[in-house]
Structure 1
Amino acid sequence: MPKQEMAEQVRNANGFIAALDQSGGSTPKALKAYGIGEDAYATDDEMFDLIHGMRSRIVDAPAFTGAKVIGAILFEMTMDRTFGGKPAARYLWEDRRVVPFLKIDKGLEAEVDGVQLMKPIPGLEDLLRRATENGVFGTKMRSVIYAVSQSGIAANVAQQFQIGKEVISHGLVPILEPEINIKMTGKAEAEEILRDAILAELDQLAPNATIMLKLTLPEIPNIYKPLVDHPQVMRVVALSGGYSRAEANRRLAENTGVVASFSRALTEGLSAQQSDAEFNTMISETIEDVFAASVAG
């Protein structure tokens, strides 16, 4: 069964999860870093065509396979498109042996009590059904923490678990991503509060329910080890969060059992102007770097 094979790979394989889920808000910045300015497109459709071209180039690169890339997180519009003439999620698993995940959140509310919660997700039931039909293994949703606020962090984590349970009910594995902003004051203290809030929610989870976590690389190495070791946590992955790839990899290697799930750090150095040979060399070197840091932890 593909689901069982995917679960085995996510739980035990060496490697990292590629975040290819830039949304409408972050796409212009991602394209600019890739060497495509805003003058290159006039509509959202043209913009999304260009970012899909970048993603296609990444997933088609010879180094982008399940040997080092455990999974990839897709934007909804990517799931609805094709790679190599196949539906994107099927292509990732069947042709590249990379486990497909889907970003399901619709962005963030305004900051309240030191956190940004997720906006409502209209049509979530239908989206989860379509994800299952497309062969997606799991989902991802992001909210953000900006301050040392016990109540704010608790509310953030509670929302993540509430939606996570709905995801689980559809037979999917949710990646919960309560991101801690890397520039916040008191980051280390917030990380302790976050860890304890997640552990409290895990205690309330049905015994057979499984989640994943995507967390900002911490100030104190291995502070999240109790989460890594928890029987109901399939995997803990780390976001680069604005750190350079070198700094993200350094921090990652200090955290036992945590693997990368980088977006900006993964595409750092890639350019639309590169030849296929140059592009493939760069993505191969990046994959090697991020893989090595993930394995070192």
Structure 2
Amino acid sequence: MTFSKQLEKMRTQDGFIAALDQSGGSTPKALKAYGINESDYNNDEQMYDLVHAMRSRIIASPVFTSDRIIGAILFENTLDREIESKPTSQYLWEEKGIVPFLKVDKCLEDKANGVQLMKPMPELDQLLAKAKTKDVFGTKMRSVIWEANEQGIRDVVAQQILFAQQIINAGLVPIIEPEVSIDSPEKAQAETILNRELMSQLDNLHPNHYVMLKLTLPEQPNLYADTISHPNVIRVVALSGGFPLIKACEKLAENDGIIASFSRVLTDNLYADQPQSEFDAALAETIDPIYQASRT
């Protein structure tokens, strides 16, 4: 029953997905932007305590609501922690009505053929089983494309689909994220190749196997229109990719049927020392333009 309700929400409701899944490598940068320097903690455990406090403050905020935010992506460390004495994923769903996702990739391989594939995930089945017990609906996994290299991009999509099949078999919905770097001098060409490879691989899925896509906002608006309408695709979402908030929202609004799944820009104006009223106001001012751009 929980899964079917979450599926219906993801298919039909306006809104966007909050990406709160900064992992070990990106957490220090996220904390620094929040006003907490590396000198403020002594080890990884203290670092994760601080970033969980930041995420908890965001999620528990009265402006972080299911009428505008339909999903949230969590880091595994967050999945193992609680908000107001409830596992984070279950707090999201039961208290907020927001669909929880889990980041499952374990960092990236070195660049080869103009891309970075995901590292092996030997413990993926165990992680998926744990996520399933905590009302997690789906997963997210990220690769990076740097060049318009046909073989490299084909390898990225093939690897994503291979892991996606494993995730589908575990009863969850994978978000496939083959990020095209906004700094690539061949970004437009790489996106054209990626679109072709995605359509080819999506056509090979079983009719009842569903995925979501998380893509860089393209140089050519509505490039991914065919993937949006593909029968195996529940939703296409966009990462901000390093664009500032206003630019990301402008580019998002150019692409019909794509909603946001922003991370850094969502927390840009939030600081640890803000009074709660100022924190909530700043968060609301960020949520609104992302939501409006996601309704196009």
- Paired residue for 2:108? 108
**Secondary structure class of the residue paired with 1:280:** helix
Residue 139 of structure 1 aligns with an amino acid whose one-letter code is T
Provide the alpha-carbon RMSD of the alignment: 0.6
User: CA–CA distance in 1 between the matches of 2:120 and 2:194?
Assistant: 22
Deviations 1:245-293 (A, max 9, x none): 1100000000000000000011111100111000000111111111011
* 1:122 Cα deviation after fit: 2.4
User: CA–CA distance in 2 between the matches of 1:159 and 1:12?
Assistant: 29
Aligned pairs for 1:1-297 (under 5 A) are 1-295=1-295, 297=296
Q: What 5-or-longer segments of structure 2 have no aligned partner?
A: none
User: CA–CA distance in 2 between the matches of 1:258 and 1:90?
Assistant: 26
**Secondary structure class of the residue paired with 1:293:** helix
**Secondary structure class of the residue paired with 1:139:** strand
Q: TM-score scaled to structure 2, two decimals?
A: 0.99
User: CA–CA distance in 1 between the matches of 2:251 and 2:282?
Assistant: 22
* 1:239 Cα deviation after fit: 0.1
Q: Name segments (4+ residues, structure 1) moved above 3 Å.
A: none
Deviations 1:58-83 (A, max 9, x none): 00111111110010000001011101
User: CA–CA distance in 1 between the matches of 2:106 and 2:267?
Assistant: 23
Residue 116 of structure 2 aligns with an amino acid whose one-letter code is Q
**Secondary structure class of the residue paired with 2:249:** helix
Q: What 5-or-longer segments of structure 1 have no aligned partner?
A: none
* 1:231 Cα deviation after fit: 1.1
Equivalenced residue count is 296
**Secondary structure class of the residue paired with 1:237:** strand
**Secondary structure class of the residue paired with 1:167:** helix
**Secondary structure class of the residue paired with 2:205:** coil
Residue 289 of structure 1 aligns with an amino acid whose one-letter code is P
**Secondary structure class of the residue paired with 1:291:** helix
Q: TM-score scaled to structure 1, two decimals?
A: 0.99
Deviations 1:99-124 (A, max 9, x none): 00000000000000000000011211
**Secondary structure class of the residue paired with 2:283:** helix
**Secondary structure class of the residue paired with 1:272:** coil
* 1:97 Cα deviation after fit: 0.5
Deviations 1:162-184 (A, max 9, x none): 00000000110000000000010
User: CA–CA distance in 2 between the matches of 1:204 and 1:61?
Assistant: 42
Residue 277 of structure 2 aligns with an amino acid whose one-letter code is A
Residue 144 of structure 2 aligns with an amino acid whose one-letter code is V
**Secondary structure class of the residue paired with 1:179:** strand
Residue 198 of structure 1 aligns with an amino acid whose one-letter code is L
Residue 60 of structure 2 aligns with an amino acid whose one-letter code is D
User: CA–CA distance in 2 between the matches of 1:58 and 1:80?
Assistant: 17
User: CA–CA distance in 2 between the matches of 1:156 and 1:192?
Assistant: 14
Deviations 1:201-224 (A, max 9, x none): 011111110000000001010000
Percent identical across equivalent pairs? 54
User: CA–CA distance in 2 between the matches of 1:104 and 1:9?
Assistant: 22
